[in-house]
């Protein structure tokens, strides 16, 4: 008499396992997407903070300024309270502080005719909050000799980084602040102020 074999059907794949079978591929695609977004963000942020060669040439052509005090701290009530580092043009780009505002060393000095440029990252702890200014606020710069100099905001606008007109040298004392703005920091937010 033939023995009956007890056939057990193969165990069904766990629905839990099937649900997560594509998880590694999804995580890899997500990771590649995040790296791509980060890379694009860094490229457009660098473009928004850099100054083109024409502007660089204008500042290099400007007459040398006597050793006058430079800004070391910027304060705008409720918006900005951060130290300033002096930055220079090197290796075909302006250097920038990662956690402080940056003063363009070749630009004008406080109390002199010309455009004094201070720029920085779009971070709340640096210059990111200037995008929330309403206009007419007072900017107080502390200088390297311990004195202060005050400016009143006269205009604000968001521009394409190719629009560098507001960063050009001026014939009168002007303070220009700028930071990144817009999608992925692809734009430049510029604040112009005049001495009080």
Mean pLDDT of all residues in the chain?
Answer: 83
Percent of the chain at pLDDT > 70 equals 74
Residue 20 lies in a domain: no
- The confidence score (pLDDT) of residue 126 equals 96
Domains in the chain: how many in total? 1
Residue 95 lies in a domain: yes
Residue 21 lies in a domain: no
| Residue of 40 and 152 predicted with greater confidence | 152
- Written as one string, the DSSP assignment of the chain is -PPPP-PPPPPPPPHHHHHTTTHHHHHHHHHHHHHHHHHHHHHHHHHHH---HHHHHHHHHSPPPPS---EEEEEETTTEEEEEEEE-EETTEE---SSSEEEETTSPPTTSSEEEEEE--S-TTTTGGGGG--SS-EEEEEETTS-EEEEEEEEEEEE-TT--GGGS--SSEEEEEEEEESGGG-EEEEEEEEE-
- Give the model confidence (pLDDT) of 87-116 as tens digits: 877 776 778 899 999 999 889 999 999 999
Residue 176 lies in a domain: yes
Q: Is the pLDDT of residue 60 over 60?
A: no
- The confidence score (pLDDT) of residue 48 equals 58
Residue 107 lies in a domain: yes
Owning domain of residue 165: 47-195
Residue 87 lies in a domain: yes
Residue 17 lies in a domain: no
Mean pLDDT of the region 144-153: 97
- The confidence score (pLDDT) of residue 135 equals 92
Residue 156 lies in a domain: yes
- The confidence score (pLDDT) of residue 177 equals 97
pTM of the complete model:
0.72
Q: pLDDT band at residue 125, thresholds of 50, 70 and 90?
A: very high
CATH code, 69: 2.40.260.10
- Give the model confidence (pLDDT) of 165-186 as tens digits: 888 999 999 999 999 998 888 8
- The confidence score (pLDDT) of residue 21 equals 74
């Amino acid at each position: 008499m033939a023995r009956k074999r007890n056939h057990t059907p193969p165990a069904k794949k766990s629905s839990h396992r099937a649900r997560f079978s594509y998880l590694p591929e999804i995580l890899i695609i997500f990771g590649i997407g995040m790296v791509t977004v980060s890379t694009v963000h860094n490229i457009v942020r660098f473009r928004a903070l850099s100054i083109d060669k024409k502007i660089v040439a204008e500042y290099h052509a400007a007459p040398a300024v006597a050793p006058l005090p430079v800004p070391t701290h910027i304060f705008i009530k409720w918006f900005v309270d951060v130290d300033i580092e002096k930055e220079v043009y090197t290796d075909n780009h302006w250097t920038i502080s990662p956690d402080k505002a940056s003063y363009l060393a070749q630009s004008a000095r406080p109390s002199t005719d010309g455009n004094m440029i201070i720029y920085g990252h779009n971070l709340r702890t640096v210059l990111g909050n200037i995008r929330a200014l309403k206009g007419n606020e007072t900017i107080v710069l502390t200088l390297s000799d311990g004195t202060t100099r005050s400016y009143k905001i006269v205009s604000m606008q968001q521009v394409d980084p190719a629009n560098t007109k507001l960063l050009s040298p001026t014939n009168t004392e002007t303070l220009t602040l700028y930071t990144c703005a817009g999608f992925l920091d692809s734009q430049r937010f510029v604040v112009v102020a005049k001495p009080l």
